[in-house]
A and B are shown apart, each in its own frame.
Chain A
Amino acid sequence: MAMTIHVDIVSAEGAIHSGLATMVYATAELGEVGIAPRHTAFISRLKPGDVRVENEQGDQEHFYVSGGMLEVQPHLVTVLADTAIRARDLDEAAALDAKRRAEDALAGQTAEFEYAKAQAELAEAIAQLRAIEKLRKMKGG
């Protein structure tokens, strides 16, 4: 029987693949790597590209990842895949966007948080909920 290594491909939004493989290929930061079973511990960033998993029958499965991390231990390969394309300036743009949205939404607002008002309104909402609860109990009982 051929030697195998366990492969997990997970992303933040869910598991993508899990199973045994005889060989795993991925596009690491400094070039393509091939991981065979009993590979030494290794960790690298991944570039957008293909992750190929070769199983015991010799079939290859392809997974596209848009980046992420590759972690290798002698019996385990983990691909922590990104679901989004990441780049410094893209992230920067997303951050600016989030800031701008906040500013737009809150234009003309004071930065001072008003506890008294907030607490009063919350107390009212909770009181309403409690009253509804009571009414329901009275009707039920």
Chain B
Amino acid sequence: MAESYRGAGHLPKQREGGMPAEPEGVPRQRRGTTPQMRGRYPDYDVLEQSSHWDDATREVVLARLDPPPIRFFDDGEVPTLTAFCDTVTAQDSDPKIPVLSLVDKKLHEGKLDGFQYEDMPDDRDVWRIVARGLDEAAMELGHPSFGEAPLDDRHSICERFAAGELDGGAWNELNLTRAWSVVMRGVLQSFYQHPWAWNEIGFGGPAYPRGYAALGVDRAEHWEPGEEFDIDPVEDASARGLE
């Protein structure tokens, strides 16, 4: 039985069928917040370091804890796209990072990424068309909307989206592979800009003006978290019948 994350048996590509282990194998967060309150660094809260950050950075990062109300998406799109963002980031319980709120802020402010594929509409339109397409796909499975579909069906629709296998209706207006990349770029940028996600992965966060002195493998600053392990992510999960 593995005694730490020094082994790689918990990684999806190293497991049979390429499927990830259940998140129940990950330690419970004891300090600060992570999405779904699990993470490798249970006693680490990057926000406790915020007094060491410069003013401009602190203002930008702390604002993410309290995102503005939805301004870009309409009332019909919000439940669909919230469900989409949570499905593709595996946020199945509280606390959740408000991914869609951060996407909405970016699109409302028109902070686009600086390019548009010749066969694609504007990124803002891509999001709206995807919302329509997700609802259509859920209706085909007999649900009133994507947001009201059960997790398994939402997951399989996203799987087909990622594989470029959806068609008909709204999907015919898009190059599917490129649409997946547009929305996922927004989703991942929103999720991993949030300090709760930094707690989960043990990222040091902003480091000015303090900087780093302890460089090298397994070397850490006094305030940097140690990785912890309390349940074997491979064997305990199967022993407890979680797979």
Q: Do A and B make up one complex?
A: no
Chain A positions within 8 Å of B, measured between CB atoms, are: none
Chain B positions within 8 Å of A, measured between CB atoms, are: none
